[in-house]
């Protein structure tokens, strides 16, 4: 198994994300006010439910809080245009995945935790409707990005 090395930066961003571990959507007609506040904080206060995909909003919220460069969009794939492209992932770097098909606009974004021969493990929002670590097939990875302070 690959053991990741310590990141040169972004450690504070990764640990801030960990502090939200367990935050989850509210089932039914109610919505988690903490998730809605994230949308509002990053300029998307038109979002009024926690069923709207919020993986990108979660990353953007953390980046704004800790003054990292960020995407102004809610789409996961918008993160492919931010930061420095990495050929090898580092713990805490951004991971962008495709969803639906590789050519679709759909995707998922989170923080790299680790990988094995088949899966990449990601800490992110909107994973099983919560902030958690989840595994995804490695063949769905579109790219890894290292962010810098804004």
**144 versus 28: which is more confidently predicted?**
144
Per-domain boundaries in the chain:
11-146
Q: Are 41 and 123 in contact (CB under 8 A)?
A: no
What's residue 9's pLDDT? 66
pLDDT tens across 103-138, in order? 999 999 999 999 999 999 999 999 999 999 999 999
CB atoms within 10 A of CB 49: 15
pLDDT tens across 21-49, in order? 999 999 899 999 999 999 999 999 999 99
The CATH number for 11-146, chosen from 3.40.605.10, 3.30.365.10, 3.90.1720.10, 3.30.56.10, is: 3.90.1720.10
Dist. CA 40–CA 94, nearest whole Å: 22
Helices (H) and strands (E) in the chain, counts: 3, 6
């Amino acid at each position: 198994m690959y053991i990741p090395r310590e990141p040169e930066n972004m450690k504070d961003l990764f640990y801030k994300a960990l502090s939200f571990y367990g935050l989850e959507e509210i089932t039914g007609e109610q919505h988690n006010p903490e998730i809605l506040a994230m949308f509002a904080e990053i300029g998307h206060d038109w979002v009024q439910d926690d069923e709207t995909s919020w993986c990108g909003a979660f990353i953007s919220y953390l980046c704004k809080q800790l003054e990292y460069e960020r995407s102004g969009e809610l789409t996961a794939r918008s993160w492919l245009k931010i930061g420095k492209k990495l050929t090898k992932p580092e713990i805490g770097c951004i991971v962008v995945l495709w969803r639906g098909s590789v050519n679709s606009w759909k995707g998922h974004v989170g923080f790299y935790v680790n990988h094995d021969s088949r899966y990449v493990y990601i800490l992110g929002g909107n994973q099983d409707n919560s902030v958690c670590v989840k595994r995804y097939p490695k063949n769905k990875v579109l790219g890894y990005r290292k962010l810098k302070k804004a």
